[in-house]
């Protein structure tokens, strides 16, 4: 399976409650990279059926203008998730987010149901991708096997609320309580060559704290952040867009390495910094991110 969307740009994933038509009718105007159409926690228990009908018709009829449409299904411990998968796949979703993922078997169970739904609704098998939310100590500990569980899996995400409850702690706002999980998850995701996403920041009155947290997870290597409000989008995109000096440096690194390699030189300096082949992939990623963010018009 080679789904070209597996590694698309996902700096921001905005949660939207499928129960609320006013929220899901035009979120593309805020230009998030992905929207997370939620059938799970945001939807009241007695409105689960209503949320599915809204989801199906929104997916079928609203042009989300290239924004990725991820559907968060209900947990595997409910009798709701199988119909959620049928609805999302029939509607035409791009991806499905599995909540409360604890084992690789959880992912494979959902993958099987997705494949069944793809055949039932005549979509190419493999067209719907998966992401897994890790919301417990067990899920975080099992991150590596979860990351390796399926070709469809494009990433894992930390879900801070449930995770902090499982750890029997409260969220401090400093991020100290998430340090271990974040580090463990990003290492596992990178080992499996998939993406990794951070949890939501819920205090909308503290935008400075939000910016600091995004800077932290960006420097840790996360690919993006789950968000709950359009005001958070420009902050994340600003931090994730390569700056001009980084783009210029990356261009020099790529060009110098290409040229020096041809001449048999392995180590050299660019702008006073020692450079070798180990810098090549990072520079390539900077250029790719700059292109995807619409700030690069060079020839690489």
CA distances from residue 75 to 134, 160, 188 in whole angstroms, order as listed: 12, 16, 23
Q: Pick the binder of another protein from 13, 71, 87, 131 (CB under 8 A).
A: 87
Q: Which residues in 57-79 are b (16+ Cβ under 10 Å) and which e?
A: ebbeeeebeebbbbbbbbbbeee
- Is 49 or 206 the residue whose CB approaches another protein more closely? 49
Should residue 22 be labelled a site residue for another protein when binding is judged by CB under 8 A? yes
- Which residues in the 104-133 window bind another protein by CB under 8 A? 121
**Least distance between another protein and beta carbon 38 (Å):** 16
CA–CA–CA angle 101, 9, 140 (5° rounding): 20
Give the whole-angstrom CA distance, residue 149 versus residue 156.
11
Are the C-beta atoms of residues 131 and 7 closer than 8 Å to each other?
no
CA distances from residue 282 to 9, 256, 289 in whole angstroms, order as listed: 16, 14, 11
One DSSP character per residue, 5-65 reads TTT---SEEEEEETT-HHHHSSGGGG--SEEEEESSTTS-GGGHHHHHHHHHHHHHH---T
Scanning 85-93, 144-152, 244-252, 255-263 for contacts with another protein by CB under 8 A, the matching segment is: 85-93
Q: Pick the binder of another protein from 10, 11, 52, 152 (CB under 8 A).
A: 52
**Percent of residues in the chain assigned helix, strand, coil, to nearest 5:** 50, 15, 35
Scanning 44-52, 102-110, 125-133, 288-296 for contacts with another protein by CB under 8 A, the matching segment is: 44-52
Count of Cβ atoms closer than 10 Å to residue 125 Cβ: 12
- Is 15 or 201 the residue whose CB approaches another protein more closely? 15
**Least distance between another protein and beta carbon 254 (Å):** 46
Scanning 86-94, 105-113, 163-171, 258-266 for contacts with another protein by CB under 8 A, the matching segment is: 86-94
**Least distance between another protein and beta carbon 200 (Å):** 23
Q: What is the CA 219 to chain-centroid distance, rounded?
A: 16
Should residue 81 be labelled a site residue for another protein when binding is judged by CB under 8 A? no
Q: Pick the binder of another protein from 20, 108, 260, 284 (CB under 8 A).
A: 20
Lookup: tokens for 270: 């660019």
Should residue 69 be labelled a site residue for another protein when binding is judged by CB under 8 A? no
Radius of gyration (C-alpha) of the chain in whole angstroms: 20
**Least distance between another protein and beta carbon 19 (Å):** 9
Scanning 1-9, 51-59, 129-137, 159-167 for contacts with another protein by CB under 8 A, the matching segment is: 51-59
Q: Pick the binder of another protein from 67, 90, 186, 188 (CB under 8 A).
A: 90
By CB under 8 A, name the binding residues for another protein.
20-22, 25, 49-50, 52-54, 56-58, 60-62, 83, 86-87, 90-91, 121
């Amino acid at each position: 399976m080679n789904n070209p969307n597996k590694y698309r740009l996902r700096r921001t994933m905005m949660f939207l409650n499928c129960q609320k038509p006013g929220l899901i009718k035009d979120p593309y105007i805020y230009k998030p990279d992905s929207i997370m159409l939620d059938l799970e926690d945001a939807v009241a228990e007695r409105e689960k059926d209503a949320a599915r009908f809204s989801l199906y018709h929104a997916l079928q009829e609203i042009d989300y203008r290239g924004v990725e449409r991820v559907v968060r299904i209900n947990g595997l411990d409910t009798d709701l998730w199988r119909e959620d998968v049928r609805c999302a796949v029939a509607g035409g979703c791009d991806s499905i987010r599995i909540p409360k993922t604890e084992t690789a078997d959880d992912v494979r169970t959902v993958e099987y149901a997705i494949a069944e739904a793809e055949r039932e609704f005549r979509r190419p098998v493999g067209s719907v991708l998966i992401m897994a939310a890790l919301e417990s100590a067990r899920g975080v500990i099992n991150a590596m096997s979860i990351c390796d569980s399926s070709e469809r899996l494009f990433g894992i995400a930390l879900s801070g609320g449930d995770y902090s409850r499982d750890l029997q702690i409260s969220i401090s706002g400093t991020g100290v309580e998430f340090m271990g999980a974040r580090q463990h998850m990003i290492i596992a995701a990178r080992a499996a060559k998939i993406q990794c996403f951070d949890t939501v920041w819920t205090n909308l009155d503290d935008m400075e704290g939000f910016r600091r947290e995004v800077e932290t997870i960006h420097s840790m290597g996360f690919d993006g952040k789950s968000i709950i409000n359009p005001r958070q989008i420009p902050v994340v995109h600003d931090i994730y867009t390569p700056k001009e000096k980084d783009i210029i440096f990356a261009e020099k690194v790529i060009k110098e390495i290409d040229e020096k390699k041809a001449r048999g030189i392995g180590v050299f300096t660019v702008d006073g910094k020692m450079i070798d082949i180990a810098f090549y992939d990072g520079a390539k990623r900077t250029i790719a991110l700059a292109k995807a963010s619409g700030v690069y018009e060079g020839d690489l």
